[in-house]
Amino acid sequence: MNAPSASATGTIRLRPKIDPRPVRHGFPWVYGNQVVTDRRTKALAPGSLAVLEDAERGPLALVTVNPDSKIIARVLDPDPTAQIDADWMTTRIARALAHRDRLYAAPFYRLIHAEADGLPGVIVDRFGDVAVIQPNAAWADARLDLLTEVLCDVTGVTTVLMNGAGRARKLEGLDEVSRPLRGAVEGPIPVPMNGATYLADVLGGQKTGLFFDQRDNHAFAAGLARGGRVLDVFSHVGGFGLAALAAGADSALAVDGSVPALDLAAQGAAASGVGERFQTRQGDAFEVMTTLAQESAQFDLVICDPPAFAPSKQALDAGLRAYERVARLGASLVAPGGYLGLCSCSHAATIEKFRAACIRGLGRAGRQGQVIHTGFAAPDHPQHPQLAESGYLKALFFRVW
């Protein structure tokens, strides 16, 4: 796909009764029902640039337009005359890099967190000299070559992979093809984090291969695990379990439905020098937890980090029931005086609703306890101040008796 011009090629206008103040004050999205969708607007190519105007006061911002998306416009710059070129991208990527360099001694982190880093729809995770990019908005997909070039120039990474999978690209009307953009990777990448070594499958794993967002929650849970037995449910490549073993847990059992993920978890345990204390069990998490309860298994720390059960408002009720069930099953496996960690990456499930579902689950398990900590995404996953969706991750930790 040829990259459109670096400056605006069209104009779109808010409907007369739509309040422009949210955009003026920094809200980054405009929905299809908020703009005048005449033939000229509908004819704009996905990813093209336009000036967003208020019917009464004139230009508001430079936006990227996608008539095929529910989010018809994403604000790129509050300056309607801005040029979306290499210099513009350099400024934003360098600003993001400076923040991560201050946070972390080693270059393993989320480098770009979409709107919160001023690059709408763009996710970039860094694994040393390798970067995995998810261009989840049409404007970035159309400018992928330029974005890759600037990314390499600013950060010094030598290999860039594109991950095209995921719900976000579908909603933008984009394909789901993944491919190397620069360089190549031979296999899983070792990632040092919280005293453990994780193996990230950046070619075929979930998302970009590793969930950096849980880094701080891994560390908090690991502090509860010293000298104890740990159950890590929905473990992926061993996120909570490996951190717990590195902190001195006696044992960890990782449960996941994916054989490849558990294989990587076992390899990570061996690379971390804790392989003899690490076990895996493959299967449906709900069924495995039920079986463990029937076996009268007990753990000093149980962590459940499921996928997004409520990815949208339409799925919220069913998702909250699923979180309640996870809490009930997880609580039944906690030894008296032990700890239970419950996580949600569903932005539609607010912290209040998620907490209520978890507490109901504890009650249904016949357990009582106290909330000892509430965790969120690590600071390499900043929240956009006006975009609730960017604060998707929640983690609740209970002491249970």
Q: pTM value? A: 0.94
Enter the tokens of residue 6.
Answer: 């670096």
Mean pLDDT score, 279-286: 98
Cβ partners under 8 Å of residue 91, min gap 6: none
Give one DSSP letter per residue of 256-304, joined into a string: ES-HHHHHHHHHHHHHTT-GGGEEEEES-HHHHHHHHHHTT--EEEEEE
Cβ partners under 8 Å of residue 401, min gap 6: 336, 337, 367, 368, 369
pLDDT digits (tens, 9 = 90+) for 176-202: 999 999 999 999 999 999 999 999 999
pLDDT digits (tens, 9 = 90+) for 39-84: 999 899 999 999 999 988 789 999 999 998 999 999 999 999 999 9
Q: Are 114 and 121 a contacting pair, CB within 8 Å? A: yes
What local confidence, expressed as pLDDT, does residue 6 receive?
Answer: 65
Q: Residue 27 above 90 pLDDT?
A: yes
Q: Residue 175 above 50 pLDDT?
A: yes
Cβ partners under 8 Å of residue 149, min gap 6: 86
Strands 179-182, 159-162: pairing is antiparallel
As a CATH number, domain 86-182 is: 3.30.750.80
**Sorting pLDDT into bands at 50, 70 and 90, what band is 240?**
very high
Percent of the chain with pLDDT strictly greater than 70: 98
pLDDT digits (tens, 9 = 90+) for 302-316: 999 999 999 889 999
What local confidence, expressed as pLDDT, does residue 391 receive?
Answer: 87
Average pLDDT over the chain, rounded to an integer? 95
What local confidence, expressed as pLDDT, does residue 166 receive?
Answer: 83
What local confidence, expressed as pLDDT, does residue 4 receive?
Answer: 40
Q: Which of 381, 194, 176 has its CA nearest to residue 394?
A: 381
Catalytic entry in 304, 343, 345, 358: 345
- Phi first, then psi: give them for residue 68, nearest 5 degrees: -85, -5
- 343 a catalytic residue: no
The half-sphere exposure of 161 on its side-chain side, counting CA atoms within 13 A, is 23
**Sorting pLDDT into bands at 50, 70 and 90, what band is 296?**
very high
As a CATH number, domain 10-77 is: 2.30.130.10
Alpha carbon distance 381, 384 (integer Å): 10
Which CATH code of 1.10.3210.50, 3.40.50.150, 3.40.640.10, 3.40.600.10 fits the domain covering 190-400?
Answer: 3.40.50.150
pLDDT digits (tens, 9 = 90+) for 198-220: 999 998 877 788 999 999 999 99
- The residue type of 116 is A
Q: How far is CA 358 from CA 204, 296, 342, in A?
A: 32, 22, 8
Alpha carbon distance 148, 152 (integer Å): 6
Strands 159-162, 130-135: pairing is parallel
What local confidence, expressed as pLDDT, does residue 2 receive?
Answer: 38
Q: Are 47 and 139 a contacting pair, CB within 8 Å? A: yes
Q: Where are the domains of the chain?
A: 10-77, 86-182, 190-400
Dihedral sign computed on CA atoms, order 330, 332, 335, 337:
positive
What local confidence, expressed as pLDDT, does residue 5 receive?
Answer: 42
Lowest mean pLDDT among 68-72, 246-250, 286-290, 360-364: 68-72
